[in-house]
C-alpha cells in the first residue's frame, strides 16, 4: 500500500471528523469516491470535492486543523516524517470569487528520496446542483494499509459518477484514459444493480435510464454546460477514432495499477474489454441525450421523467 493512499485515507477521515457533513454541503467525487464508496481497484491521485459557497470561505482554516491532525496520525506510522502543506485559491470576481480551493500536502522522510504529494481540490458548487447530484452519506469502513478508515462522508451514487465521467469524456481537451477505465467499472456496477432490480416487483424497480440522464444533465450544469453542448462533443469523440487506440489505453493503465494486476489483464485480454465497455457507456450517454433533445412524436415513449 502506497504512502499516498494512506495519507488520502487519513485526510478524508480527518475532514469527516471536522463536522457532520450533509450532501447539500459537500460531496467527495471523482476517482477517489469510486475507490472508497464502490471498491474500485484503481489508484486515484487526488481527492476531489464539490462544496457549497457557505462553507467555501472556511476551507483554509479547516485545512490547517486537518493537517495538524494528519501530522499526529502520521508520526507513529512513519517515524521521522515531515508534512508540509499550502492552500491555493483560484478564480475571479466574474465567477463570484474563488472557484477552486486546493490543498497541496507534501510528505517527506529522511529514508526516502523525494516527496509524496497528495492534492485535495474543492470546487465551489451551487447548492441546487449539490441537491440534484445523486449522492448520499456513506460510511467507508475497512483498512487502507495500516490505517483504519471509518469516515461518514457524502459520496456519489453510481448515476452521479457515471454522469461525471461521460461529461468529462465530452469536455476534456484530450482523452484521459482513466475516465474510460472508470466508465467500464461503472458499467459492471450498474449492470449488477439492474439485475438486482429485476428481482423486485415492477412498482419498486429503479428507472435506471432516466436516472442516468438526469445525472448527466446535472453534471453538465455544474460545469456550465447544456445537454445540447455535450452531445456533439460525444459524437466528436467517436469520430476522432481515439476509442480504437487500445495500445495507448493499455500503456496508460500502467500508472494506475500494480504490475501483477496488469500482467493478469494482458493474459486474459482484459484491456480491450475495458475500453470496449467504456465505448458502450459513452454510446449510452449519446443515445440518452439524443432521445432527450429530439422533439417527441405524438404517442412516442421517451426516457422516463
55-94 as b/e: b if 16+ CB within 10 A: ebeebeebbeebbebbeebbeeebeebebebebeeeeeee
Q: What secondary structure letter does DSSP report for 50? A: E
Determine the average pLDDT of the residues in 280-285: 96
Does residue 232 have a pLDDT over 60?
Answer: yes
Rounded Cα gap, residues 247 and 189, in angstroms: 25
- In this predicted structure, the answer to whether residue 255 has a pLDDT above a threshold of 90 is no
Distance CA 214, CA 225 (A): 14
CA angle 180, 191, 156 (to 5 degrees): 65
148-157 pLDDT, tens digit each? 666 789 999 9
Is beta strand 46-51 parallel, antiparallel or unpaired with respect to 112-124? parallel
CA distance 94 to 60: 22
Please give the mean pLDDT across all residues of the chain. 87
Cα four-point dihedral sign 93, 27, 44, 85: positive
- Tens digit of pLDDT for each residue in 186-214? 999 999 887 777 777 777 777 888 999 99
Q: What is the pLDDT of residue 280?
A: 96
Helices 3-18 and 31-38: crossing angle, nearest 10°? 80
Asked whether the beta carbons of 222 and 133 are under 8 A apart, the reply is yes
Q: How confident is the model at residue 305 (pLDDT cuts 50, 70, 90)?
A: very low
Lowest mean pLDDT among 39-48, 128-137, 239-248, 285-294: 39-48
Angle CA 269–274–278, to nearest 5: 155
**Residue 194 CB neighbours (<10 A):** 13
Domains for the chain: give ranges and CATH numbers: 3-156 (3.10.450.620), 160-293 (no CATH)
Q: pLDDT at residue 95 above 50?
A: no
Does residue 56 contact residue 26 with C-beta atoms inside 8 Å? no
295: pLDDT strictly greater than 80: no
Rg (CA), the chain: 20
Using CA atoms of 47, 52, 58, 59 in order, give the dihedral in degrees to the nearest 10. 10
Q: Count Cβ atoms within 10 A of the Cβ of residue 188 and give its class: 0-12 exposed, 13-18 middle, 19 or more buried.
A: exposed
Among the residue ranges 28-42, 142-156, 157-171, the one predicted with the least confidence is 142-156
Amino acid at each position: 500500500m502506497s504512502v499516498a493512499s494512506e495519507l488520502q485515507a487519513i485526510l478524508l477521515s480527518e475532514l469527516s471528523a471536522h463536522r457532520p457533513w450533509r450532501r447539500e454541503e459537500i460531496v467527495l467525487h471523482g476517482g477517489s469516491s469510486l475507490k472508497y464508496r464502490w471498491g474500485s481497484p484503481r489508484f486515484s491521485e487526488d481527492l476531489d470535492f464539490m462544496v457549497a459557497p457557505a462553507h467555501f470561505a472556511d476551507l483554509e482554516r479547516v485545512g490547517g486543523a486537518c493537517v495538524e491532525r494528519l501530522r499526529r496520525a502520521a508520526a507513529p506510522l512513519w517515524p521521522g516524517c515531515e508534512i508540509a502543506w499550502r492552500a491555493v485559491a483560484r478564480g475571479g470576481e466574474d465567477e463570484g470569487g474563488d472557484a477552486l480551493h486546493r490543498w497541496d500536502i507534501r510528505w517527506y522522510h529522511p529514508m526516502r528520496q523525494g516527496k509524496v504529494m497528495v492534492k485535495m481540490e474543492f470546487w465551489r458548487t451551487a447548492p441546487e446542483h449539490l441537491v440534484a447530484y445523486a449522492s448520499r452519506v456513506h460510511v467507508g469502513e475497512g483498512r487502507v494499509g495500516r490505517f483504519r478508515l471509518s469516515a461518514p462522508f457524502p459520496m456519489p451514487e453510481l448515476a452521479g459518477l457515471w454522469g461525471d465521467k461521460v461529461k468529462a469524456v465530452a469536455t476534456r481537451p484530450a482523452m484521459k484514459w482513466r475516465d474510460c477505465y472508470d466508465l467500464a467499472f461503472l458499467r459492471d456496477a450498474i449492470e449488477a444493480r439492474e439485475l438486482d432490480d429485476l428481482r423486485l416487483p415492477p412498482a419498486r424497480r429503479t428507472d435506471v435510464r432516466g436516472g442516468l440522464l438526469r445525472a448527466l444533465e446535472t453534471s453538465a450544469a455544474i460545469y456550465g454546460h447544456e445537454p445540447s453542448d455535450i452531445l456533439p462533443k460525444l459524437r466528436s469523440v467517436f469520430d476522432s477514432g481515439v476509442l480504437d487506440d487500445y495500445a495507448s489505453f493499455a500503456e496508460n493503465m500502467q500508472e494506475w495499477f500494480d504490475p501483477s494486476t496488469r500482467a493478469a489483464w494482458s493474459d486474459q485480454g482484459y484491456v480491450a474489454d475495458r475500453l470496449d465497455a467504456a465505448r458502450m457507456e459513452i454510446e449510452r450517454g449519446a443515445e440518452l441525450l439524443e432521445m432527450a433533445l429530439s422533439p417527441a412524436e405524438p404517442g412516442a415513449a421517451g426516457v422516463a421523467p
